Amino acid sequence: MADHPFPLAKDELLAAYRRMRTIREFEERLHIDFGRGDIPGFVHLYAGEEAAAVGIMIHLGDGDRIASTHRGHGHCIAKGVDVTAMMKEIYGKKGGSCEGKGGSMHIADLSKGMMGANGILGAGAPLVCGAALAAKYRAKKGQPSDVAISFVGDGASNQGTFLESLNLAAVWNLPAIFVVENNGYAESTSRDYGTAVDSYVDRAAGFGLPGITVDGTDFFAVYEAAGEVIRRAREGGGPSLLECKMVRFHGHFEGDAQTYRARGELEDIRANRDCLRIFKAAVTGVTLITEAELQAIDHDVLGLIERAVSEAKAAPLPTAADLTTDVYVRY
């Protein structure tokens, strides 16, 4: 019997914190380096949303597939993609996750079940239906199947591809989970302005899917809700929708002036809705984990990010010959 109120052991809690902290420091470093002009292309940062990615992905193995969004760094790290390879990819260098040819919005690592970030809104949902169908047919009779998870934001939730995928997954009873990361904005458009329903769970009901809404800044709420819908999918219960209400600390993209936000909004969410602070307060409040243990992780993570940046800057650029590699699949 655990001597604390949490559903995870101490080492698992420390591992979850490490992964969340890695996402945060990765994104904050990109915020700095992009501002210096070091990084080509666009970046969309996941800082503030870490509890959702880690709370969900902690239930997954490499055989489970995910399809991400343009804001995909957090999903990649939570799924176990190598941080240095990611940094090289974002810097456009050889040795990156996609050999420097995809950049921030197209990081993929099939060995980890990460089918890719995606610059097209709602494009991951149909891919997840395919991955879930494959998982369903590969599963041995009477054994739990792998699952596939599609992440979308407020804007993508209104795309036809996403809504069609909800219907297809329900009709075929696929082991799929559709996660709506509701951070309040579709780029600069308020969720209340662009979506008629009060909750995305109402959308799920229209397609015959069960749905649940959780506080996406609460790691433990996400962990428990995600565990239930993933277990259900593995056991043949079919697809579900999980809405995580969360916040993002930066703009839609780096360079976004965020004039659509209310005065003081950013300061308020950083002070009161920081998922890392909420997690730290919970685990240190019952004297399970000490501040010193968390600070040691913080120190390790900063070193990891610094090494990743150094290696990315030192790595060579792709050559002209690399343009024709990884274009066609050979069977």
C-alpha to C-alpha distance for 169 and 159, rounded to whole angstroms: 16
177 falls within a domain: yes
Burial of 192 (0-12, 13-18, 19+ CB in 10 A): exposed
Distance from first CA to last CA of the chain, Å, rounded? 51
pLDDT in tens, 136-176: 999 999 899 999 999 999 888 889 999 999 999 999 999 99
Q: What was the pLDDT predicted at 298? A: 98
Q: Into how many domains does the chain fold?
A: 1
* Cβ atoms 86, 31 nearer than 8 A: no
Residue 255 lies in a domain: yes
Check residue 325 and give left, alpha or beta (phi > 0: left; psi -120 to 50: alpha): beta
In the predicted structure, residue 257 carries a pLDDT above the cut 70? yes
pLDDT at position 241: 98
Residue 5 lies in a domain: no
For residues 103-118, give the mean pLDDT.
96
pTM: 0.95
114: DSSP letter: B
Question: Starting from the edge strand earliest in sequence, which strands make up the sheet with 176-182, in order?
Answer: 65-67, 148-153, 176-182, 240-245, 211-215
**Res. 94: pLDDT tops 90:** yes
CA angle 192, 194, 197 (to 5 degrees): 60
pLDDT band, very low/low/confident/very high, at 304 (cuts 50, 70, 90): very high
In a domain, residue 96? The reply is yes
171 in a structural domain: yes
Q: Which range of residues forms the domain containing residue 219?
A: 10-322
Tokens 């809404």 belong to 213
Of all residues in the chain, what percent carry a pLDDT higher than 90? 82
Would 220 be classed as within a structural domain?
yes
User: Side chain identity at 62, as an amino acid letter?
Assistant: D
User: Is the distance from CB of 86 to CB of 99 less than 8 angstroms?
Assistant: no
Q: What is the pLDDT of residue 327?
A: 84
Interval 59-76: pLDDT, tens: 999 999 999 999 999 999
Residues ≥6 apart with Cβ < 8 Å to 287? none
- H or E segment and range at residue 270: helix 265-272
Q: In the beta sheet, which residues pair with residue 189? A: 186
Look at residue 78 and tell me if it is in a domain: yes
Two tokens, residue 166: 């909800």
Choose among 180, 268, 278, 157: nearest CA to 221. 278
For residue 3, tell me if it sits in a domain.
no
The CATH number for 169's domain is: 3.40.50.970
Q: Are 66 and 57 in contact (CB under 8 A)?
A: yes
